[in-house]
Amino acid sequence: AREGAGRAPGAALPGGPAMDLFGDLRRMNKRQLYYQVLNFAMIVSSALMIWKGLIVITGSESPIVVVLSGSMEPAFHRGDLLFLTNFHDDPIRAGEIVVFKVEGRDIPIVHRVIKVHEKENGNIKFLTKGDNNEVDDRGLYKEGQNWLEKKDVVGRARGFLPYVGMVTIIMNDYPKFKYALLAVMGAYVLLKRES
């Protein structure tokens, strides 16, 4: 009897999807494989170019950030995606929502400016607070620091998309999910056939 006789059309061979993936890779000739690897590299470099372009256009080192905590509720919720600008000519005003970095903390903080103190020489210092917090942010600043300065600002919130950033939070909370997703995307790009 022939091998595979009696198997329903379209039935999977023993070994499952992983064996199909390796089988597809083996069937590709070197030229096809190089083409797919270059395709993947082009996608990655295009994404990096878009990101760098956004940095130049917005003036912010991080033009898009995800809200990681509930300290700004009800204005922003955990998982909201914020769009930032950081034009240094624009004065900082009370009531404005800023993203800032403080020395000793890796992750920027999204909070509202509650007080602005302008010195006679034109230097501006300001104080922030989360809308959902009881006290101002002096406890979050580096030791001995009571005010923020413009150099601490990463950007100012100009718009947002609700909950779109939950994917980022899930990937940070579950690193295995992140690597699995990247592996699936890489395999898709490498094995995608041109039609």
CA–CA distance from 87 to each of 63, 64, 79, 143, 156 (Å)?
Answer: 12, 15, 25, 28, 9
The residue from 24, 69, 80, 111 that is catalytic is 111
> Is the distance from CB of 86 to CB of 155 less than 8 angstroms?
yes
Would residue 117 show up in a list of annotated catalytic residues for this protein? no
Would residue 20 show up in a list of annotated catalytic residues for this protein? no
3-class secondary-structure state, position 63: coil
Would residue 45 show up in a list of annotated catalytic residues for this protein? no
Label residues 90-102 b or e (16+ Cβ within 10 Å = b).
eebeeebbbbbbe
- Name the H helices within the chain: 16-27, 30-58, 166-173, 175-191
Q: Is the dihedral of CA 77, 79, 83, 88 positive or negative?
A: positive
Copy the structure tokens of residue 55: 């940095």
Of 68, 135, 134, 60, the residue nearest 90 (C-alpha): 60
The Cα angle at residue 154 between residues 149 and 155, in degrees rounded to 5:
105
The residue from 137, 152, 173, 195 that is catalytic is 137
The residue from 71, 106, 152, 173 that is catalytic is 71
Please list the active-site residues: 71, 111, 137
